[in-house]
A and B are shown apart, each in its own frame.
Chain A
């Protein structure tokens, strides 16, 4: 019992300490971002654009593929249940609302945390091991400003864009299967979809993806910066970055959905 209590206490302490460190990193990034409005050369622009290309353009194909598949599967599964109630024509509404509110941001974030989060943790982790981060410090360049800020900003700008792509591709996937495989009239499908979809569905989805982007970037960079040792530590940090990001995304998604659709006035 004593051992169990000890372990629980220790784990709680580690989790809280981790949250505190993430908070500090986030505060530092926010500080630099704000000061960039008043001072020149706070954000390394080349690094920012390089990251934006890497995250945005290079990830479009994979994110679209996953988005289209999810839209298609969703339409097939929804049709199966809706048919029993004779409500097959509502398939479009269901796919569109689900994509915009939940699946778009969630799918984009999870794919990106695997693709980009892991990369960030491994890259910064390797830089730690090879003393590159120390080199920055001795040059009087703050590693958070030079390495973390461009990554957080690039992801915060690009993930909502990728979410829009996933939303659209997923809806098109649903429409394709609905009109061909399920035999729903195309005009009816589109009309029902537009009727069901409201602006709030879209902007709350984008807001969520913005929050997820900050989480992924901060967690991944933090994992990278905590590397000490060698290849083993880099591997561990990379795995941790992806696992922690995905768990946090899902937990925060639950909270955000509860707040947006139940706590706030509609």
Chain B
């Protein structure tokens, strides 16, 4: 199998600066086809920024992002939209259109990108909602359903056009543990049933170990570790261990010593 057949996305030396602040500092990762990759890291480590680069919502300062061998950096809108047809994206806050019903939300990409008749679109919408376990909710408005249901509607919308790759931004954030694990089940199911490549940004270890084929840990804008769940669990890196255990004291201290605080103040 050739390189681009094995890996659907390849990120090469990705650097992103906002003014003086370097958020991503030379990221090199490969996303394997048909697998679930979880990008992890503490708050502010650049994981959401990396995700937004992958779907071209941000342009990098330097570096390349290859999707199926096509470099999407600096691509014009028309070509980029052709690449985006392969994508589905589940946003952290679901990002459903509040003025539309659940069914209309799922139908948006179908209406915009296909010439299907309204009857066929209605059937596809029903099928997609069934896939996420929400049969019969077509006529509800987004504000009438719960947070977990909104996430599932957003997922149904993300897979409306049968994408090859689905991106998830913190799929379990703000949900109770049972609903969060249901979303994890859905991610696994979709990945297996529809052979979708999934890229999940998360900071929840439990969920990551449950679903991930590959885990990427970011720290301070760099890749700290790439490996399977098992490899990450057995990592010798002290930051990775602190992260997995969820301890407040470790390499990253909860409280700084007065010398460290002074040093930090003077260095900025």
Chain A residues within 8 Å of B, Cβ to Cβ: 41, 123, 126-127, 130-132, 134-135, 137-142, 146
Contacting A130 at CB < 8 Å: which of B93, B108, B113? B93
Asked if residues B95 and A134 are in contact (CB atoms below 8 Å), the reply is yes
Contacting B85 at CB < 8 Å: which of A126, A132, A140, A146? A140
Asked if residues B109 and A137 are in contact (CB atoms below 8 Å), the reply is no
Asked if residues A138 and B89 are in contact (CB atoms below 8 Å), the reply is yes
Residues on A with C-beta less than 8 A from B95 are 130-132, 134-135
A sample of 10 more A-B contacts (CB under 8 A), given A131-B91, A132-B95, A139-B84, is A123-B99, A132-B98, A135-B89, A135-B97, A137-B57, A138-B55, A138-B84, A138-B89, A139-B113, A140-B80
> Interface residues of B, CB < 8 Å — how many?
22
Q: How far is the CA of A135 from the CA of B155 in the complex (A)?
A: 12
Q: Is B92 an interface residue (CB 8 A)?
A: yes
Chain B residues within 8 Å of A, Cβ to Cβ: 55, 57, 77, 80-82, 84-85, 87, 89, 91-93, 95-99, 108-109, 112-113
Contacts known (A130-B95, A131-B92, A131-B93); A138 close to B112, Cβ less than 8 A: no
Q: How far is the CA of A123 from the CA of B99 in the complex (A)?
A: 10
Residues on A with C-beta less than 8 A from B87 are 138
**CB of B174 to closest CB in A, whole Å:** 13
Closest to A129 in B: B93
Residues on A with C-beta less than 8 A from B97 are 127, 132, 135
Residues on A with C-beta less than 8 A from B85 are 140
Residues on A with C-beta less than 8 A from B91 are 131, 134-135
Asked if residues A140 and B113 are in contact (CB atoms below 8 Å), the reply is yes
Asked if residues A141 and B108 are in contact (CB atoms below 8 Å), the reply is yes
Asked if residues A141 and B112 are in contact (CB atoms below 8 Å), the reply is yes
Asked if residues B81 and A140 are in contact (CB atoms below 8 Å), the reply is yes
Closest to A40 in B: B115
Asked if residues B57 and A142 are in contact (CB atoms below 8 Å), the reply is no
**CB of A230 to closest CB in B, whole Å:** 12
Contacting A139 at CB < 8 Å: which of B80, B82, B93, B109? B109
Q: What are some 30 contacts across the A-B interface (CB < 8 A)?
A: A123-B99, A126-B98, A127-B97, A130-B95, A130-B98, A131-B91, A131-B92, A131-B93, A131-B95, A132-B95, A132-B96, A132-B97, A134-B95, A135-B89, A135-B91, A138-B55, A138-B57, A138-B87, A138-B89, A139-B84, A139-B109, A139-B113, A140-B80, A140-B81, A140-B84, A140-B113, A141-B108, A141-B109, A141-B112, A142-B77
Of listed A41, A126, A131, residue having the most chain B CB within 10 A: A131
Closest to B80 in A: A140
Q: How far is the CA of A138 from the CA of B77 in the complex (A)?
A: 11
Residues on B with C-beta less than 8 A from A127 are 97
